[in-house]
Structure 1
Amino acid sequence: MFFVLSKTIGFILMPTNFLIGLGLVGAILLLTRFASLGRKLVVTAVLLLVVCGLSPLGNLLLYSLESRFPRWDPARGAPDGIIVLGASIEADISAAHGTPVVRSAPDRIIAAAALAHRYPNARVVFSGGSANLLSNDAREADFAGEVFEGLGIAKSRLIMERRSRNTLENAEFSKALVAPKPGERWLLVTSAYHMPRSVGLFRKAGFPVEAYPVDWRVAGRDGLFTFSNLALEGLWRSDTGMREWMGLIAYRATGKIDELLPGPVPN
């Protein structure tokens, strides 16, 4: 039930979807005796779409997430395992064409493969099923192995977790699959903006991990107040930042994480 609610409510409340819906409602009202209200809704929707698409709003939403965890320090020594979260491979499209199709966040897979080469004794876990509310039986993990093998990682080192539909299940199913022992060190590879929520959920699941953020979307403080040249890019950043913050709020409100904005644990 939580998965269905998170997908439906999340879809409705994404800034782009919400504002398009607001504009459509306004357009319909233009044909009724509430035409004045309709005009206000249309104008409001257009103006807010411009703000979300061209202003630094998306940068502001993402920067506070991306700056939460520093880059991983290799001085601590070799890890025992590497967990890379999905959301890079389009499972349904991959199934349709019979080959892996990587469309977003490729840094997750590339960084994990580079780490696997650097630390040849570390186990590699790819955690990703299907995040779609309606989908066929295709799962990201069904195609990730081929990508990793193409990057030179032996199949014998790969552990594929194909059941998870969201980050909560990434944490729970990965822990059940690898049964980490006390004292083992596991790296968690995911997008920098997604790291706070991910680390919070892994901690709650009793699986301590070390953050290995990748796939930054904001150029630090210097890029914080830059305007977007393309509205689609700005809308993506606004939608992504809002989705992460809504996820953090929802998980904290339901007790699935212990902090609103999880951060590094002091040594």
Structure 2
Amino acid sequence: MFFLKKVITYFILLPPGNIVLFLLILGFYLFKKGVKFASYITLAVGFVLYFLSTEVGATLLISPLEESFKVPPKEVRNSCGYLVILGGGVKRGAPLLDLKNDLNEDSFKRTIGAYLLYGEKPRKIVASGYSVRESYPEGLAIKDLLVSLGVEEKDIIAENRSRDTFENALLVAKLVGTKKVCLITSAYHMRRAVYLFSKAGVKNLVPVPVDFKTSKAPFTVYKFFPTPYWLNISSKALKEYFGLLYYSLKR
């Protein structure tokens, strides 16, 4: 009964499962009616959407990105003079207790990662990012959270002008000079971030990936269930691949 409830929920009641089911039914209907080209397109879209919406599909896409860099040992992390957090989004006006602007999931986990590194060894933290869609900069929202967690305000530099990762890199390069930097961002985003920071002239760089989207959980049939969460993870992976392609062609 529990399994049947899950099937009904994820394949009939909720998107993207119900959209996938509709496309597959429509595709087979068109094929039966002899409209073969339209049926092939419809079925292809349905299968691609299904693949991107499952944990299996999303993991296949994002794992190569997340495996690009390993978490460095503590002695390497503690050798950094600066901790640099790359913002990943802010929810303006969404409160988190006394904070007026909450961070989205990626930004929050990156900030917690930096907070833990600061706990290992206090040093300067650069909170980098300006939200294009929101009027409250990511850098300031990250700073607010760090201060509320107990980080000394004098140790936080809010860089709130950069609009993307390359601008993050250019502005941070001016702040840190030649000092060693621990770069903190989501694991799936690290490959592009390291490339752009190196291109901007930050050579003494220690990648510290956080916010891993994949897990080592045992295999179950539910990994084949389409969900909005895994479709979002696939979208993040595709965005990174497009970004890497764009900057490789731009060289």
TM over 0.5: yes
C-alpha spacing 1:173/1:199, structure 2 compared with 1 (3 Å): same
C-alpha spacing 1:196/1:118, structure 2 compared with 1 (3 Å): same
Does the aligned pair in 1 maintain the 2:91–2:134 contact within 8 Å?
no
Query: Equivalent residue for 2:105?
Result: 104
Shift of residue 103, structure 1, vs aligned partner: 2.3
The amino acid across from 1:79 in the alignment is: C
The amino acid across from 1:44 in the alignment is: A
Identity between Structure 1 and Structure 2 (%): 24
Does the aligned pair in 1 maintain the 2:127–2:140 contact within 8 Å?
no
Does the aligned pair in 1 maintain the 2:169–2:200 contact within 8 Å?
yes
CA distances 1:25-71 after superposition (whole Å, capped 9, x unpaired): x99xx9xxxx7654443333222211211262211111111111111
Query: Equivalent residue for 1:165?
Result: 163
**Normalized against structure 2, the TM-score is what?**
0.76
Query: Does residue 180 in structure 1 map to residue 177 in structure 2?
Result: yes
Report matched runs for 1:10-159 at 5 Å: 37-54=37-54, 56-76=56-76, 77-91=78-92, 99-105=100-106, 106-120=108-122, 122-130=123-131, 132=132, 135=133, 137-159=135-157
Query: Equivalent residue for 2:212?
Result: 216
Point out where structure 1 has 5 or more consecutive residues left out of the alignment.
1-15, 256-267
The amino acid across from 1:180 in the alignment is: G
Shift of residue 222, structure 1, vs aligned partner: 7.1
Counterpart CA distance in 2 for 1:221 and 1:44 is 29
**Normalized against structure 1, the TM-score is what?**
0.72
The amino acid across from 2:69 in the alignment is: F
* More displaced stretch, 138-147 vs 242-251: 138-147
Query: Equivalent residue for 2:245?
Result: 249
Shift of residue 237, structure 1, vs aligned partner: 2.1
Counterpart CA distance in 2 for 1:69 and 1:221 is 21
The amino acid across from 1:159 in the alignment is: I
Counterpart CA distance in 2 for 1:150 and 1:63 is 33
Counterpart CA distance in 2 for 1:170 and 1:245 is 19
Shift of residue 228, structure 1, vs aligned partner: 4.3
Shift of residue 230, structure 1, vs aligned partner: 4.4
Shift of residue 141, structure 1, vs aligned partner: 1.7
Shift of residue 199, structure 1, vs aligned partner: 0.5
Q: RMSD of aligned C-alpha atoms?
A: 3.1
Shift of residue 115, structure 1, vs aligned partner: 1.2
Does the aligned pair in 1 maintain the 2:103–2:142 contact within 8 Å?
no
C-alpha spacing 1:247/1:37, structure 2 compared with 1 (3 Å): same
Point out where structure 2 has 5 or more consecutive residues left out of the alignment.
1-15
Counterpart CA distance in 1 for 2:54 and 2:147 is 40
C-alpha spacing 1:194/1:220, structure 2 compared with 1 (3 Å): farther
Query: Does residue 192 in structure 1 map to residue 187 in structure 2?
Result: yes
C-alpha spacing 1:228/1:157, structure 2 compared with 1 (3 Å): farther
Query: Equivalent residue for 1:260?
Result: none
The amino acid across from 1:234 in the alignment is: W
C-alpha spacing 1:217/1:160, structure 2 compared with 1 (3 Å): same
What SS class does the counterpart of residue 235 from structure 2 fall into?
Answer: helix
What SS class does the counterpart of residue 90 from structure 2 fall into?
Answer: coil
Counterpart CA distance in 1 for 2:229 and 2:36 is 32
CA distances 1:56-97 after superposition (whole Å, capped 9, x unpaired): 221111111111111111223432110010014224757xx9
CA distances 1:93-126 after superposition (whole Å, capped 9, x unpaired): 57xx971212212220001011112212x11001
Aligned residues: 219
